[in-house]
Structure 1
């Protein structure tokens, strides 16, 4: 079972309405990352590195697709997941 808890909004920012496919994908990915860590396939620092890479890919997106705000929001969400420790069982 996933331990996902929706991130708390940063002051002055509102979280978008949940997207069912996005929420499902997030939950599946989180479960996979937890399983990889639980079975000693990937250590915590590698999992956090994967998440940081994903956040950076969106944070550095120039928004040429007209979705700059979406990319910024995705990067922010991933960084809040990292800060919350939800995708690794920190010992």
Structure 2
């Protein structure tokens, strides 16, 4: 991945996390739905097919999403 792509990916992740937090804070989406969205996204990458390199990249994305779920970064927990 190029540096430009890395920056774009980091920006997209930050924006998505901020949107999920805002939706939860405003009561638009409850925590269980936000976690469902993240689990669906991780599952999509876990089950993706392609070349060995593509599969490794998809699994790395799934690992990152699962780490976000485990860390509670996308929902504000008391």
Question: One fold, TM greater than 0.5?
Answer: yes
Answer yes or no: is 1:23 the counterpart of 2:10: yes
Gaps of 5+ in 2: none
Question: Stretches of 4+ moved more than 4 A in 1?
Answer: none
| TM-aligned CA deviation for residue 62 of structure 1 | 1.6
Q: What is the number of residues matched between the two proteins?
A: 75
Q: Is the 8 A contact 1:55 1:78 kept in 2?
A: yes
**Coordinate RMSD, CA, aligned:** 1.9
Answer yes or no: is 1:41 the counterpart of 2:23: no
Q: Is the 8 A contact 1:36 1:42 kept in 2?
A: yes
- Higher percent of residues as helix: 2
Q: TM-score of the superposition, structure 2-length normalised?
A: 0.89
CA distance in 2, matches of 1:65, 1:32: 32
CA distance in 1, matches of 2:51, 2:44: 14
Gaps of 5+ in 1: 1-16
Correspondence for 1:56:
43
| TM-aligned CA deviation for residue 58 of structure 1 | 0.3
Correspondence for 1:8:
none
CA distance in 2, matches of 1:60, 1:27: 24
